[in-house]
């Protein structure tokens, strides 16, 4: 276990940039004193912000990056304009060179994914990366992947997702054999598309020692916490994630409207204030901010572009935990020999 973990930060990414990311780093270090940072971006601006917190400045370095990838850039545009010079690329390159243990960005997801694949490459046996997130449930939290890294998946890819997600769950939840389910239109084995049914058969036949495959789960099982890891193809996973986020906002809006509807409602709120405060904490998206790019030859953390300092801190803390508990090693050890590596295809990026 490492005593000190350094995270390379694309400080220019996201909706708010350094003014939120730097304070978020300070909050993360308060939680994990072993954290250190390498900031990339506008050096004068970053130096001023970092210097305002002496404890943060003592464990941080700032390097200038003349280019900032914009949120609306296409991946191909970002690669052409930002490769070798952008704060996003330089943060990833720091991991490749061994100058940092993980990379962090709140910037353009497509650009980050394209750059990460080129810079860090894929690990053996895995062809495509996935984004894994922590999902609040009635039982606590579950790991859900893929929530949008790649669209479409064959059985082999889904099995790889199950293995990577279970490795992450072993770290996050301190479990020896996390339970795993494949997201499907029903729990019966005859339901679903052929790729999902084939993946289910493979997982049952492999009987892997580090995961407990429980079969198919439906959409409502995610919130119930029916399994520790929910595996989905990226298109389906992203829709599920966005639907859940929208539903949470809808419920929050309904509650606020109801509590302002009259004196009795306001009085009821005062009497049940602690209960409502507890509900607000559970529904706070900042608590689960931070998607992990799995399948790469390095740890990459993607924060929500609109995250505040608390959300940024949580994403950085997840990055620390993934490095500290050796996520990449555990994924490598979990991949069975039955999943043969495919011939490497030339890297390409859609415009």
32 and 121 both lie in a single domain: yes
Same-domain pairing of 84 and 156:
no
Pair 134, 270 in one domain: yes
| Domain termination residue (choose one: 269, 288, 307) | 288
Q: Are residues 10 and 29 in the same domain?
A: yes
C-alpha distances (whole Å) from 33 to each of 5, 26, 37, 78 are 10, 10, 11, 34
What mean pLDDT comes out for the span 155-173? 91
- Looking at the fold, whether 139 and 245 belong to one and the same domain comes out as yes
Q: Are residues 150 and 217 in the same domain?
A: yes
| Mean pLDDT for the stretch of residues 243-250 | 78
Q: Are residues 139 and 279 in the same domain?
A: yes
Asked if residues 7 and 32 have their Cβ atoms less than 8 Å apart, the reply is: no
CB 106 within 8 A of CB 289: no
Percent of the chain beyond pLDDT 90?
53
Residue of higher predicted confidence among 35 and 73: 35
Residue 79 falls within a domain, yes or no?
A: yes
Q: What value does the CA radius of gyration of the chain take, rounded to a whole number of Å?
A: 21
Question: Can you say whether residue 14 is alpha, beta or left, with left for phi > 0 and alpha for psi between -120 and 50 degrees?
Answer: left
**Which residue did the predictor score with more confidence, 226 or 245?**
226
Is there a domain that residue 102 lies in? Answer: yes
Q: How many residues does the chain have?
A: 351
Helix, coil or strand: residue 286: helix
- Counting the structural domains of the chain, the total is 2
Half-sphere exposure of 152 (CA within 13 A, CB side): 1
Q: CA distances (Å), 89 to each of 9, 109, 156, in order?
A: 10, 13, 30
| Closest alpha carbon to 302 in 50, 151, 130, 135 | 130
> Is 351 inside a domain boundary?
no
Gap between the Cα atoms of 151 and 273, Å rounded:
43
Query: What's the whole-number mean pLDDT along residues 80-109?
Result: 91
Domain-embedded: residue 346: no
Average pLDDT over residues 256-266: 70
For residues 270 and 143, membership in a common domain is answered with yes
How many C-beta atoms lie closer than 10 Å to residue 120's C-beta?
Answer: 21
Instruction: Note whether residue 321 is domain-resident.
Output: yes
Q: What is the CATH number of the domain that holds 232?
A: 3.40.718.10
Give the tokens for residue 315.
Answer: 């994403």
- One DSSP character per residue, 297-325 reads SSEEEE--TT--HHHHHHHHHHHHHHHHT
Residues 51 and 190 in one domain: no
- Residue 281 included in any domain: yes
Confidence label for 267 from pLDDT (cuts 50, 70 and 90)? low
Are residues 135 and 270 located together in one domain of the fold? yes
144, 164, 264 from 277: Cα distances, Å: 26, 35, 19
* Domain range enclosing 187: 127-288
136 and 157 in a common domain = yes
Question: Are residues 143 and 257 both part of a single domain?
Answer: yes
pLDDT value, residue 124: 83
Query: What pLDDT is stored for residue 189 in this prediction?
Result: 82
pLDDT tens readout for residues 176-204: 999 999 999 988 888 888 999 999 999 99
Q: Is the pLDDT of residue 347 over 90?
A: no
Residue 347 forms part of a structural domain: no
Check pLDDT > 80 for residue 9: yes
**Does residue 348 lie within any of the structural domains?**
no
pLDDT grade for 345, boundaries at 50, 70 and 90: very low
């Amino acid at each position: 276990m490492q005593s000190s973990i350094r995270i390379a930060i694309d400080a220019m990414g996201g909706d708010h940039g350094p003014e939120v990311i730097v304070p978020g780093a300070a909050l993360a270090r308060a939680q994990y004193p072993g954290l250190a940072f390498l900031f990339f971006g506008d050096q004068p601006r970053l130096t001023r912000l970092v210097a305002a917190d002496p404890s943060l400045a003592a464990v941080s370095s700032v390097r200038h990056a003349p280019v900032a990838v914009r949120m609306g850039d296409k991946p191909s545009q970002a690669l052409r304009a930002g490769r070798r010079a952008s704060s996003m690329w330089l943060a990833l390159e720091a991991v490749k060179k061994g100058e940092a243990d993980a990379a962090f960005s709140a910037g353009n997801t497509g650009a980050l994914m394209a750059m990460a694949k080129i810079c860090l490459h894929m690990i053996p046996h895995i062809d495509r990366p996935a984004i894994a997130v922590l999902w609040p449930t009635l039982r606590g939290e579950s790991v859900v992947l893929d929530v949008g890294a790649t669209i479409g998946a064959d059985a082999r890819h889904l099995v790889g997702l199950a293995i990577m997600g279970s490795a992450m769950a072993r770290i996050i939840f301190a479990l020896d054999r996390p339970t795993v389910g494949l997201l499907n239109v029903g729990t019966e084995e005859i339901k679903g598309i052929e790729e999902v049914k084939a993946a289910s058969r493979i997982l049952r036949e492999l009987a892997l020692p580090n995961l407990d495959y429980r079969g198919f789960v439906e959409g409502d099982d995610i919130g119930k916490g029916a399994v520790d890891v929910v595996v989905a193809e990226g298109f389906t996973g992203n829709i599920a994630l966005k639907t859940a986020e929208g539903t949470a906002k809808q419920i929050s809006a309904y509650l606020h409207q109801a509590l302002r509807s009259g004196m009795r409602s306001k009085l009821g709120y005062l009497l049940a204030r602690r209960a409502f405060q507890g509900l607000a904490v559970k529904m706070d998206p900042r608590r689960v901010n931070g998607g992990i790019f799995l399948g790469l030859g390095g740890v990459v953390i993607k924060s929500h572009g609109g995250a505040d300092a608390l959300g940024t801190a949580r994403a950085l803390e997840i990055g620390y935990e993934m490095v500290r508990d050796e996520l990449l090693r555990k994924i490598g050890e979990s991949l069975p020999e039955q999943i043969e590596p495919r011939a490497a295809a030339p890297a390409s990026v859609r415009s």
